[in-house]
Amino acid sequence: MKIKTTFLLLCFPILIIAQQSTTNAPGDAFEEKDEPVRQKIMWVSPGTAGNCQVWNFSHATVYNDRSPGNQKETGDEWLTGREKETLHHYFLSGDSLFCTGYENEMTSVRYSQPQLLLCFPIDYVKSFQEEFKGRGRFSDRLEMTLTGTVSSLVDGWGKLILPGGNMLENVFRVHTVIRSLRETAPLSRNFDIYAPVDDRTGEPKDSQNTSWIVESIYQWYVAGTRYPVFETQETRIMNENEPVIIQRSTFIYPAGGQEHYPENK
C-alpha cells in the first residue's frame, strides 16, 4: 500500500478536496517546493450563508504570527499532516477523505470508525453527515471513548474582501461541524486503543466524566488556488447551563507562501 507523507496545516483534508473540485490545471497541483503559510488575524464572525454574498473582512487586524509548513507527495491513499506538535493521520478511499486519528506528547487517539472529513467533488449546497467512533489515551493516566458526528456543507458563494482590501470573486465557503462526546476513565491495564467502540444509545451515565465538544470551521476557497484563502475556527464545550467557548481563531492563507498581506503590529 502506498504512503503519502504530507506536512501541512490542520486544514489539509479540505485543501485536497477543494483543489480537485475547483480546478484541473497542472499548475494548481501541489508541489514539493510549496511552503504554505497561514497568518493569524483578529477573530471575526464568519458571516451569513447564501448566494451572492459579500464577506467583508477588510477591517480585521493581521498579527505578526505566521505558521510555515511544507509538503511532499510520495504516493496515494495514506497521508500524515502536522499541525504544530500534533500529528494527524488521514486515509483516502474513493471519493472520500477520512481522519483515522491523531497524536501529540500528551494525547493519542485512534478512530475504529474514522471521521469522514469531505467527499468530492464539492458542489454548492452539497452536504453529508457521518458518525465516527474511537478511543484515546491522555498522559498515560486516562483512557477516553470518543463518539460523534461530522457534517459538512458548501453553504455559500460570492465575493471575499481580505484584510488590506484585496477582493476575490467566485469564492465558495465550506462549513464543517464536528460534534463529539468524550468519556474518560482511569487508564486500565487491558486498555486497547484500537478496540472497536460499541453502539451506544441515550445520554452517558456519569456526566462528571463526559464532555460534549462542538467544533465549527468555515473555510473559503477560490478557483485556481491550492489552499483556502480564509478560515475561522470556534470550539465550544457544551454544559448544562450554556456553551463555553474555549477557542476562537481566524487565519488567512497567502497563496503558496509567496504572497503576504499587510501586518498591523
Q: Residue 254: which pLDDT band, with cuts at 50, 70 and 90?
A: confident
Q: Over the stretch 6-30, which tens digit does the pLDDT of each residue have?
A: 333 334 333 333 333 333 333 333 3
Global confidence as pTM: 0.76
Q: What is the pLDDT of residue 21?
A: 36
Q: DSSP assignment of the chain, as one string?
A: --B------TTHHHHHHHHHHH---GGGS--TT---EEEEE--------EEEEEEE-TTPPEEEEEEE-------SSEEEEEETTEEEEEEEETTEEEEEEEE-SSEEEEEEEEEEEEESS--TT-EEEEEEEEEEEETTTEEEEEEEEEEEEEEEEEEEE-TTS-EEEEEEEEEEEEEEEEEEEEPPTT--TTSPPPP--SS-S-GGGEEEEEEEEEEEEETT-SS-SEEEEEEEEE-SSS-EEEEEEEEE--GGGT-------
Q: Looking at the predicted structure, is the pLDDT value of residue 252 above 60?
A: yes
What pLDDT score does 200 carry? 60
* Residue 135: predicted pLDDT: 96
Taking residues 196-220, report their average pLDDT: 76
C-alpha–C-alpha distance, residues 49 and 178, integer Å: 18
96 or 204: which carries more pLDDT confidence?
A: 96
Confidence check: pLDDT of 208 > 80 = no
Residue 198 has pLDDT above 60, yes or no: yes
Q: What's the pLDDT score for residue 51?
A: 92
Return the number of other C-beta atoms located less than 10 Å from residue 238's C-beta.
14
> What is the chain's mean pLDDT, rounded?
77
Instruction: Name the residue with higher pLDDT: 119 or 158.
Output: 158
Q: Is the pLDDT of residue 100 over 60?
A: yes
